[in-house]
Amino acid sequence: MNDLFELKEGGVCAPKGFRASGVHCGIRKNKTKKDLALIVSEVRAATACVYTTNLVKGAPILVTKENVKDGYAQAVIVNSGNANTCIANGVEIAEGMCSLVEQHTGISAKDVVVASTGVIGQKLSLDPIAGGMQALVGGLGDHSRDAAEAIMTTDTVPKEIACSILIGGKEVTLGAICKGVGMICPNMATMLMFVCTDAAIEPALLQEMLSADVKRSLNMVSVDRDTSTNDTMCVMANGLAGNPIIRKKDGDYKKLAAALHYITTDLCRKIAKDGEGATKLLTCTVRGAVSEKAARTIAKSVINSPLVKTAMFGSDANWGRVLCAIGYAGVPVDVNKIRVSFASDEGEILVCERGAGVDFSEEDAKRILSRDEIVIAVELGDGRYQATAWGCDLTYEYVKINGDYRT
């Protein structure tokens, strides 16, 4: 825990002026699972977004881009269970969801961020969403957990966090929810993440802050090397904390950026640990790279490797697979300088020094790698830059989940 931040309860509702709700409206056949979420701010909020880099994009992304091009929004509506992607009338449905928010809350449809997740290419009707709006809006309150549950697909647990920090003599709070445990190698964001804050900041600076942060956080998560068509991350800042508005990259900007990074990296770990079928959270730290980009590329290559992931599932200290992933990452390295070790709360063990194997106890390695959180530490010895990536092991259950996901 960073001494600058204080953890808070309440998720997206922890900052001043935000309410949330989540209900089952009928998109999912399972009536015990929520499938429609809403987050609203008391006032229009400076808003920044990042989206999937996949050329196949869900219609809500197109609508959201248009709605937030002025840098402001006031509400977020999300459905799960059926992705609004590759649907002939997808834009019409996305715009219809925004209009439903306006009809039931008075917030302009043009101030709504809309998102969708679930099976791709299945027909989606606006009818269940319209039918669920009264309950959704009626349930608005301190219900971040309900919203977090309503955006889940194959997630096994809801994901949320909140923290506060002093900026300009005022307590500024950030809260977030997210979902995503499959199709996670976005090079943009997670599947879906929504951050609310009561900080006052100009929209352009908020966008710059978010775009810089995802390079070190959300872009460094991988479950299965697949990029979703629906990835959207949104940050809304409504200014109700009363801090002097952040208009330049000063100390206050850096404090808020640090708090945002704390939020996003915490959720990155939660996403990776809850990866489809996963039993272990894998963290790859790369140090001594010639550039930050090189460090990020190598860390992501190791985390992405199916052979590394399966070795970690089997608690097998097969360090050669780590070197293999480093070698095909596309970054020039001096192999003779590479050092690799594995660590967990059971201890740390050196397995490779100067690009070659060293004697180690297989029994000790097995014990270390049998824990549910593993660190793969790589030292390159080529420079002064470093990066961290998060992933998970690859298990039989992952194949089972995705073998019959649609049916």
**Which residues are known catalytic residues?**
190
Please check whether residue 78 is in contact with residue 234, taking contact to mean a CB–CB distance below 8 angstroms: no
Short-list 208, 181, 206, CA closest to 193: 181
Burial 17-51 (b: 16+ CB within 10 A, else e): bbbbbbbbbbbbeeeeebbbbbbbbeebbbbbbbb
Tally Cβ neighbours within 10 Å of residue 156. Answer: 12
HSE, CB side, 13 Å, CA atoms: give it for residue 89: 8
The sign of the CA dihedral 284, 264, 278, 226 is: negative
The values of phi and psi at residue 112, to 5°, are: -115, 130
HSE, CB side, 13 Å, CA atoms: give it for residue 302: 30
Report how far apart the first and last C-alpha atoms of the chain are (Å, whole number). Answer: 42
345: its two tokens: 């709360």
β-strand partners of 79: 36, 116
Residues in CB range of 251: below 8 A, 6 or more apart: none
Q: Which residue has the tokens 């530490």?
A: 377
Please check whether residue 125 is in contact with residue 131, taking contact to mean a CB–CB distance below 8 angstroms: no
Residue ranges with strand state E in 322-372:
339-344, 347-353, 356-357
Alpha carbon distance 31, 299 (integer Å): 41
Alpha carbon distance 328, 304 (integer Å): 12
